[in-house]
Amino acid sequence: MLENVNLKRKLSRKEYNRDISRLQRRLYDLEKACWDHKVPSMIAVEGWDASGKGGAIATLTQRLDPRGFKVHSIQLPRTFEQNRPWLWRFWLRVPNCGEMVIFDQSWYSRILIERVENLIPEMAWRAAYRDILDFERMLSDDGTVILKFFLHITKKEQERRFLKIASQPLEAWRVDKDDWARHRKYDQYVVATDEMLELTESEYAPWTIVEATSRRWAKRKIFQAIIAALEHRLGRNAPSRDTSDESAAIDADLRTAMHSLDPSEGNY
């Protein structure tokens, strides 16, 4: 599945600056509408190390009302969490009515990192597929909008980004030996990811594969998918686009002026 993704997709800075303010404003309006109409949403952002997950989430939440969303950065389960049902820690983080919850990595670590790194037996990660489908179906049936993204880059591009980060004294800490160890297992992760995408795709919790060679392209695609899903869920309760477009035009002019002062910003 991943081998058929066109990773050459790009977006110019001009197009990005033109679109991103409009998309941020539209998402803000939809966040408020979801809050008013008690529509919860849950967004899982998965992908390769250095694929831009953190940057995408930062841009996604930049203009949102902080009272209406939460971001959870998920690590491997701690000792006391391993003594409970494995989805317990995610049930604690599901959104309240009207709230948006964004996961920087998610319950899918069970069938990616924990599987490939042999942290759990095969029987456990195979059983996790059924658990995940039940988990997502139950939340969807209760009215939660679920979106899942996988940010995809090539092994060569991942290595290039690792080396670039490692060469910067103030950023080098972001790449450690575990990142390089996973990089060497890239092909194994491809197999696990393809299986994950195939077995956990559903109409109530769809996957969106994001071509992430261009960070600007990736961010726009994520915004567009979330906005489309929330508009569909809200239906006639979705706010008009007129106000969003007017405010976004002002934001776009301001963003262009800011970038003219810092031409190095947004090179990807």
In a domain, 265, yes or no: no
In a domain, 210, yes or no: yes
Q: How many structural domains does the chain have?
A: 1
In a domain, 56, yes or no: yes
Contact 44, 106 (CB under 8 A): yes
pLDDT given at position 252: 57
Pick the residue with more confidence: 1 or 79? 79
pTM above 0.85, yes or no: yes
In a domain, 266, yes or no: no
| pLDDT, tens digit, 9 for 90 and up, residues 124-183 | 999 999 999 999 999 999 999 999 999 999 999 999 999 999 999 999 999 999 999 999
Whole-Å CA distances, 73 to 30, 167, 234, 237, 241: 23, 25, 27, 31, 32
Range of the domain at 208: 2-259
Whole-Å CA distances, 257 to 14, 61, 200, 217, 228: 12, 21, 43, 21, 29
In a domain, 136, yes or no: yes
Percentage of residues in the chain with pLDDT exceeding 90? 89
In a domain, 231, yes or no: yes
Contact 108, 125 (CB under 8 A): no
pLDDT given at position 264: 47
Contact 210, 7 (CB under 8 A): no
In a domain, 264, yes or no: no
Residue 38 has pLDDT above 90, yes or no: yes
Count CB atoms within 10 A of the CB of residue 80. Answer: 8
pLDDT (average), residues 81-100: 97
pLDDT given at position 93: 98
pLDDT given at position 246: 59
Per-residue pLDDT band for 189 (boundaries 50, 70, 90) equals very high
CATH number for the domain including 253? 3.40.50.300
How far, in Å, CA of 106 to CA of 125, rounded?
A: 14
Average pLDDT of every residue of the chain: 93
In a domain, 267, yes or no: no
| pLDDT, tens digit, 9 for 90 and up, residues 236-262 | 999 998 755 555 555 655 555 555 555
